[in-house]
Chain A
Amino acid sequence: MNKQYDVIIIGGGATGAGVARDCALRGIKALLIERHDIATGATGRNHGLLHSGARYAVNDRESAEECIKENMILRRIAAHCVEDTGGIFISLPEDGLDFQAKFIESCLAAGISAEAIDPKQAIALEPSVNPSLIGAVKVPDGSVDPFRLTAANILDAKLHGADVLTYTLVEELIIESGKVVGVKVVDTVTKERSEYRASITVNACGIWGRDLAAKAGVTINMLPAKGALLVFGHRVNNVVINRCRKPADADILVPGDNITVIGTTSSKVPFDQCDDMYVTREEVDLLLREGSMLAPALNYTRILRAYAGVRPLVASDDDPSGRSVSRGIVVLDHATRDGVEGFVTITGGKLMTYRLMAEWTVDLICKKLNIDAKCTTAEALLPGSTTPDAGCKRTTACFSGAKSSAFYRHGDKAQQIDHSTAAKRALVCECEQVSVGEVEYAVGKLGVTNLVDLRRRTRMGMGTCQGSLCAARAAAVMATTSGCSSAEAKSNLKSFIAERWKGMSAVAWGDTLREGELLSWLYDGVCDLSNLNTTEE
């Protein structure tokens, strides 16, 4: 592997992946470094909403305009990651209709189509919606899978010459004569240390960017705003449902794959909690209370799990809610801002604008490196979406079973999955229809090193059983495919089960508690993973 690059990008979320891809497409030699797997931070811990921008139209015109532009771009370049569900903003009796008029006007001004429909039409469009609604507005919301989107960006970056290191932690920035010239890293698995050098180092670490910047002696005043969400056990709604009022907690209900997500809350959390988010009872109460105002069925739908992410908001003042802070994009050239050459921070923004954030960052890089290359990421289609019908097949059941599920997840890249024999077609995960072939593809081509990575690429273990039926199977298949030792595979299985339970324990009642009891019986009882045999290591 090279030791010298034009650009080193730290952070493997959507933004970092987008920067790596943009660099690669412009012929800039880039290395992306991520301490965990890709999309493990805020990227993978949100609604997966393809914002139309309508939510921001009234209060933040700039964000709204960015959203609708990126919305249209993503539908084209990432068709296999996007589902065109459409969205509605509903007004309930207690909301009144005053906001609606202003809302429609603001949407139209920002270039977002917004059509008022009467309550009956709204119910016909989305039968799960609260029937007591008094008004609704149709907007071009959709859903987007952030894991797939990030994976596709990484894949394309690599195809165009970028290098990617996951499970690699940046311990130090190498600073020479006041200039950041590289990084000292440690492989978190092998503990091997190495150094990489580049003309420019990009901080794309989200909320963790504050600590990275500190390594260069730079202060970024960030506000960690926690957002908690709940996943429901089936697809309650087919159209995104929002509340037509000033943005508040738990007022977006997004369908995705086989599930529905309600969110989010917003609360300030200390930095030391950002690595271990836990959803509290109060947050669950709030999400359920407000969520059932959008779709009453949530009151009696099984909650699969709870999760939370941290928004990397750049604070101008100490707003306790973190909600009135602009979600705007922040690009910091630390040369001009702090007198530190060779160091750039990209933060703020949102999943929707990851591509634009990358474009602005790489524009700055080009300027600094005197490179004359135009951004093409708004036109160049992502791997998986390069055949014209990738998007349309997504919503059409062309095949049955694992094949169509794989197509849904990987777009035209699914052709690379070996489904030629019965052995390859055998199902590992029944809830989400993940085959042996797909597991092998994920291990071979998508950089999967453990079961949690595999879950992010394939949805293995994300369905109603939360892994209780498929995790052991997947561990065994992965051990064979990746050649890791049995001891590693079993300890990996144990971590996977532990991780699944973390999200279930906050909502452990009803069937979720029963599933938890089964999980415990199977993996702590029958398999006895508490007492992993260490003699074989």
Chain B
Amino acid sequence: MLPLAPIKIGDWMVLLLGVLCITWTTVTLWQGGVADKAIIRSSGKIFSEVPLSRNQIISVPGPLGISRIAIHNRQVRIAADPSPRQYCVHQGWLKQAGEIAICLPNQVSVEMSGRGKRYDSLNY
């Protein structure tokens, strides 16, 4: 038998409050927002900012060679890259604002950007 007796009315209220808090934080913190453009960087500088409305493949030069970035159905992925371990290619399609794929060896990155960018820079 479950020990239900020790739970009092206030406990249930606190439990409910906790569930509401978690729901609220999840909804506010985990929604990436709708992305409307992709920012492509090469060697730390912005290579181009592309709207997601048109399907296309963009070739970005880096120190190791050419990275190919594909835009398809408002999603972006790195289709090909000369980096040895292919981490950024394996990351697959980026869908929401704030998502980012970085090919470190070739110094190429693509970031999904929405209307409201939550922070401009990160410092370590």
Chain A bound to chain B:
no
List chain B positions with a Cβ less than 8 A from chain A: none
